Structure 1
């Protein structure tokens, strides 16, 4: 059975994590529960995530709003009508333009059907998404977490989540990706909510300014 977090159960899942991990409990005690971050399982959501690759959330949202303004509605057909110049005027890089148009074509051709995702396993969704140009594990992770509300995803390609993990667990700077993934196993089957708590900590706690960036 596919398990999801919902507005009614996500706080109880956070409490369950806090009961077994003092560091996560400290986040809740200090900053409260994370917001209920969610998105729709749509083309627009995937476009938004692609725009968020390796840039700030504010920059990505600015580009998304420009696209909305230009296309009126962000659908595969409308996006494919925009020229490269129009996409560039919406702050979309040449590379991301090609990723977004490739995704639009995959949806219109039937190569990808987002309506299938709710009944598919995490691995099946990931395989479908990462088969597309410009979509890697980070993009698949974010779509699984926020658009499909899957409960057991840890986005190891996300710098904010990784930096928060290092700070909260007081980990050495040279720790490897594999070692960090091993640490996150203690939060299964609720790694998504643990990641949300870490993001909440990252956004709420004072920290020195640093360049952000995410994977595809």
Structure 2
């Protein structure tokens, strides 16, 4: 994050709320860098597998998934014929169904990262949430942490939303507050997660 963006954020925050301003001053600039080191489909599957779980539990389940997969590519392993084997790794039936749908889309060529990268976050999210079991939160996390998109406010993330509410006002919608920080709303989310020390991935 450039100092110019951080300075702009401090000016906006100062006009909104002393508490928000102080939190940003104490924390200093935040950094955003997309990590597309793994295929998009695999990252999506792992994100779905880890939903509503602690980091430790999600990591443990994913390790079992990788062991069960063996030498096979994950997107080849994730299909209905292996439903029970995937389920035995600790995933719910709904998560297995979602993961298999993601893998099927990838095998059909519909999840190429370079096709989705140029899209704006709204259109990208629309493509991703069309997959069974992929919600807006997952689409937002992929846009922020996989593609490194700078202007995504994940209002469905409880930690980010509640922290912004607490630092501003419960009477003001967080979407409206976040809009003040466009076109760098992803950084606002990073400030909020850092403030509560609860990164989502």
Q: Pick 1 or 2: higher relative contact order, CA cutoff 8 A, min separation 6.
A: 1
Fold similarity call, TM over 0.5: yes
Maintained 8 Å contact 1:48/1:61: no
Maintained 8 Å contact 1:27/1:201: yes
Q: Provide the secondary structure at the position in 2 that maps to 1:146.
A: helix
Q: Provide the secondary structure at the position in 2 that maps to 1:91.
A: coil
Q: Does 1:70 align with 2:68?
A: yes
The residue that corresponds to 1:122 in the other structure is 121
CA 1:75 to 1:14, structure 2 compared with 1: closer, same or farther past 3 Å? farther
Taking the aligned partners of 1:18 and 1:62, their CA distance within structure 2 comes to: 39
Q: Does 1:16 align with 2:8?
A: yes
Taking the aligned partners of 2:89 and 2:115, their CA distance within structure 1 comes to: 30
The residue that corresponds to 1:46 in the other structure is 44
The offset of 1:202, in angstroms, is 1.2
CA 1:164 to 1:119, structure 2 compared with 1: closer, same or farther past 3 Å? same
In the superposition, the TM-score normalised over structure 1's length comes to 0.77
The offset of 1:182, in angstroms, is 1.3
Maintained 8 Å contact 1:14/1:194: no
Alignment of 1:1-150 (within 5 A): 9=1, 12-22=4-14, 23-34=19-30, 36=32, 38-40=34-36, 42-72=40-70, 75-80=74-79, 83-150=82-149
The residue that corresponds to 2:181 in the other structure is 187
The offset of 1:10, in angstroms, is 5.4
Q: Does 1:202 align with 2:196?
A: yes
The offset of 1:24, in angstroms, is 4.4
The residue that corresponds to 1:210 in the other structure is none
CA 1:56 to 1:35, structure 2 compared with 1: closer, same or farther past 3 Å? farther
Taking the aligned partners of 1:110 and 1:39, their CA distance within structure 2 comes to: 21
Maintained 8 Å contact 2:32/2:187: no
Q: Provide, for residues 156-186 of structure 1, a one-character-per-residue CA deviation record: whole Å limited to 9, x for no partner.
A: 11111112112211425xx6xxx22112111
CA 1:21 to 1:95, structure 2 compared with 1: closer, same or farther past 3 Å? same
CA 1:31 to 1:140, structure 2 compared with 1: closer, same or farther past 3 Å? same
RMSD of aligned alpha carbons: 2.6
